Chain A
Amino acid sequence: MNAQELSWLALWGAVALYAIAMVASSIHLARVADAKVAAKTRAKAAVAAGGVADERPAPASALRAGSEPEVRVRSRAAGIAKSTTLVGAILNGIGVVARGIEAGHAPWSTMYEYTITGTFVAVVVFLIVQSRRDVSYLAPGVTGFATIALGIGMTVLYEASTGLRPALQSFWLVVHVSIAIIATGVLIVGAVATVLQLMRDYRDSGTAWLQRFRWIEAVPEPAKLEALAFRLHAVGFVLWTFTVMAGAVWAEHSWGRYWGWDPKEVWSFVIWVIYAAYLHARTTQGWAGRRSAVLALIGFVALIMNFTVVNIFFQGMHTYA
């Protein structure tokens, strides 16, 4: 088996495992939602019965005051989701490395290569956050996104590897593109958290069509999700800032101008400005919360646009891919 076949097999394996992980984590999420609803109903019933539910301040939560009951659900689905995500990520990583070996350079020069690396980073970022705190509610979103992105990558975007054009042979390729991909991976996870935040927020305030989705009960309150999303976005934003700056340095080196409003540059700038607006909106009266979350999602849409529409349809100096 050569590197190309290995890469191909490993990546299809990753697609399959991510798909399983998505299903399993969704099942787990539904269980958690059931348990939470049940716990809430019990608490309500206790209050209704006139009984003083529990006057002693719950000691365990004394230092972590939260308004929701803590529910712990162990399910087989959770275990399956965890292990398939992990193995999927490992296969995805093998696929990327094997592709790099096959191509003879860091695998970051075509859309196919961006896609396989980007999904890998997104899943790894999720796993890192997961290892610190329980964010299994992000799993369906992240693995679902990874399944679709990687699947599209394998079927639509695949291109045989080639050598690098002279303009791409640079230390800055590695720096600029790798950080761009890592930023994208982080922002993907951030966007998933933000989507959940908005869904939960609107469901809580009675939006009709969201009432059907009981699984939303399983995700934390909007404020907590916003806190998590902000931290991810903050990391992603710093990385994106670096990407844009490194891109300017590279452009200066190889094109003789650091900024020329090439379509790709325009969109990188637009993305940066939207996320900056998001960061401001978080601390602006009347904008914090829902509106800032919407801005973050618009930023994410622009990010995906930059990668898809701009690459394919706009002529510019970046059209190597």
Chain B
Amino acid sequence: MARVKIDNYAYANVPRLGFVGWLRWIWRQVTSMRVALILLILLALASIPGSVLPQWPQDAANTQGFIDENPFWGPLLDRLGFLDVFGSAWFTAIYLLLFASLIGCIIPRCLVYWRELRAPVPPAPTRLDRYEPVTASAPQGARVVMRNAEFALSPEVSPRSGERGGRQSRRLVHRPRLWRWFADYLIRVDERERRGDDADSELALSAHKGHVRELGNLIFHVSLVAILIAMATGSMLTYRGQALIVVGDTFTNAVVAYDSYESGALFSEDQLEPWTLTLDDFEAEFDLVGLPTEFTAYATLTEPGQEPRQVETQVNRPIQVEGAKIYLQGNGYAPVFTITDADGNVAFEGAVPFLPQDDVYTSTGVIKVPDVTSGEQLGFTATLLPTAVVDGDTAQSLHPSPANPVIYLQAYTGDLGLDDGVPQNVYELDESQLSPVRGDDGQPLVVEMQLGDTIELPDGLGTVTWEELPRFAAFDLRRDPTLPWLLGSAIAALVGLSMSLFAPRRRIWLVAPLKPHAGRKTTVVEAAAWAPAHDTAVREELERVLVAATGRLTEAAPTPEER
């Protein structure tokens, strides 16, 4: 015999279990309410580090910084999964166990429910004592009392249909609508022998409702499983990419055109539709203090085999294309430069996206010029101030609009490091093999440029011309064919939850002797009700039914205040 803990405080001696017995025991534990509860609590606890510590998927730069700053804790936490909590083995284990528990829990409950739905209403208990019964006396006979009670419980039951016998058939005749049958009381009335009284028979009414509550609960839990399945399927069928388009440029939907691209295991790249998107214009509006009020991108979308069409998108209004959505994610400036090298040949020409660093669009960018005719490669780091105000030695931008755009440029010569085959970040200059171009004073040279300026680099290195200042828009593209399913499951979960929490589960019983006591003119009805503890209104309902059944409440009626 083994001692097994069966409750918080109790132990039981149980026979030793065989292998199958153990499996069954484990399964029973996993699907028990207590384990489900503990798993829920664990799930909540396990999520918290995901908001406190930096996470790889959300913010890789910050996470790397955290690891570098904490040489002991950083790598340790990383190895234990704390820097990618929601992808970690332990988090996955918790929610998979929870869902195993959930499935193991709802399947039997669905079966029980199915049986319950078709089972007849059980008769009223022979003794109501356990349910705090109340009594009332009525001047009518028991049959009239019961018919009134039925009518009060369910107005769909016609009070005129008199016969008593075939309860089942009458329920079908008078309550044909499925939802009513579901939501209302199911009623039966039995004529049965009476115990411990001088009357020899009695009428016992038994009214049940509660199918909606349990149905809602099952819908809710099943929908949770559906949500999980939809999310898992979605992550396999999805693809998403980010692309940055300068005004006037055209983007073609292909993996190479994206700045970043990722897709689920079941999505292959040749499923991408080759549509094109031309960014015709981008409008950014700001208020006086520089807070953004509206961003609008105007574009031309050309889908294969279709006429090009004009589309317009704002931050909350994605463009729909071929089952995917294109979101406007960010924007900024992409100054256009022409750069000539020492030999006077054009070595670079084009727009360079600058990334905004703050609310006034102080933006930084990098120009890499690998293709010089002779000599060393050129590199530049630059800062753009859209509305520059110079105050002595410092300059800053006052507003995100390009009222007085100024670029501060710093030049480097050397090896850009592009030939190593390691993909480089286009927004960063690898300075390890570069040296800054110095001015006459020997300090690294910083050049100020206005729109349209051409500057000469020292030592005859070449020239830089700032031609134009167009804007760019950053787009995020995403396809996830399971979204409608996800939404559907979520709505079902919400509906199920509301049904489960707000639909009442009630039992009401009325019992009255068929032949009154010798010499008495009134029928004494005994009534009781049962509902979950939070449902305090069931007593009021019982009262209402009793009043309707007997025509009055013999006991002093409570004042409204006492309710």
Q: Residues of A at under 8 Å CB distance from B?
A: 59-65, 70, 72, 133-134, 162-163, 165-167, 169-170, 172, 223-224, 226-228, 230-231, 234, 237-238, 241-242, 245, 248-249, 252-263, 266-267, 269-270, 273-274, 276-277, 280-281, 283-287, 295, 302, 310, 314-315
Contacts and interface: CB of A to CB of B under 8 A. Distances in A.
A163 B132 contact: no
B36 A253 contact: no
Contacts of B534: 226-228, 230-231
The CB with the most chain A CB atoms within 10 A, among B8, B490, B493, B498, is that of B490
B37 A63 contact: no
A256 B494 contact: no
Nearest to A273: B44
List of 7 A-B pairs having minimum Cβ-Cβ separation, nearest first: A266-B51, A227-B534, A277-B40, A256-B327, A263-B51, A59-B555, A234-B501
B240 interface: yes
B558 A64 contact: yes
A314 B51 contact: yes
A163 B295 contact: no
A284 B287 contact: no
B450 interface: no
Nearest to A281: B37
Given A234-B502, A241-B494, A63 B34 contact: no
Given A170-B316, A284-B33, A273 B294 contact: no
Given A64-B562, A252-B483, A286-B8, A270 B44 contact: yes
Contacts of A230: 534
A257 B478 contact: yes
Nearest to B36: A280
A165 B292 contact: yes
Contact of B291 (A162, A224, A285): A162
A260 B295 CA distance: 24
16 contacts: A59-B555, A60-B555, A166-B316, A223-B533, A230-B534, A238-B502, A256-B325, A257-B478, A259-B231, A261-B57, A262-B58, A273-B43, A283-B33, A284-B37, A286-B8, A310-B51
B50 interface: yes
Contacts of B487: 249
Contacts of A170: 316
Contacts of B555: 59-60, 62-63
A39 to B, nearest CB: 15
A283 B533 CA distance: 11
A281 B39 CA distance: 12
A252 B539 CA distance: 46
A230 B33 CA distance: 19
B44 A163 contact: no
B563 interface: yes
A76 to B, nearest CB: 18
B93 interface: no
A257 B482 CA distance: 12
Contacts of A281: 37
Interface string B226-245: 00000100000000100000
Nearest to A272: B44
A62 B555 CA distance: 8
A167 B327 CA distance: 12
B284 to A, nearest CB: 9
A7 B330 CA distance: 35
A241 B33 contact: no
Contacts of A245: 490-491, 494
A254 B490 contact: no
A274 B44 contact: yes
A38 to B, nearest CB: 20
Contacts, number: 152
B8 A227 contact: no
A255 B327 contact: yes
B342 interface: no
B542 interface: yes
Nearest to B540: A63
A280 to B, nearest CB: 5
B494 A237 contact: no
Given A63-B134, A231-B534, A256 B562 contact: no
B486 A258 contact: yes
A298 to B, nearest CB: 9
A126 B285 CA distance: 44
A272 to B, nearest CB: 9
Given A241-B497, A256-B476, A60 B44 contact: no
Contact of B563 (A133, A224, A285): A133
B77 interface: no
Interface in B278-324: 287, 291-295, 314-318
B98 to A, nearest CB: 10
B55 interface: yes
B287 A163 contact: yes
The CB with the most chain B CB atoms within 10 A, among A59, A226, A256, is that of A256
Contacts of A60: 555-556, 558-559, 562
A241 B40 contact: no
A261 B40 contact: no
A218 to B, nearest CB: 17
A115 to B, nearest CB: 22
A321 to B, nearest CB: 14
A304 to B, nearest CB: 15
B329 A163 contact: no
B47 interface: yes
A212 to B, nearest CB: 30
Given A63-B134, A64-B539, A266 B47 contact: yes
A314 B314 CA distance: 27
A65 B494 contact: no
A163 B293 contact: yes
A60 B543 CA distance: 12
B478 A256 contact: yes
B47 A166 contact: no
Given A166-B294, A276-B40, A237 B562 contact: no
A76 B563 CA distance: 22
A241 B223 CA distance: 13
B172 interface: no
B315 A285 contact: no
Interface in B425-481: 476-478
Interface string B483-510: 1001100110110011001100000000
A165 B295 CA distance: 10
A237 B501 contact: yes
Contacts of B59: 315
A254 B43 contact: no
A284 B315 contact: no
B494 A284 contact: no
B2 interface: no
Contact of B40 (A224, A248, A263, A280): A280
Nearest to B40: A277
B34 A287 contact: yes
B490 A166 contact: no
A225 B92 CA distance: 37
Nearest to B491: A245
Contact of A166 (B9, B293, B476, B563): B293
Contacts of A238: 494, 497-498, 501-502
Contacts of A223: 533
A58 to B, nearest CB: 9
Contacts of A256: 240, 318, 325, 327, 329, 476-478
Contacts of B240: 256-257
A162 B291 CA distance: 9
The CB with the most chain A CB atoms within 10 A, among B317, B477, B501, B563, is that of B501
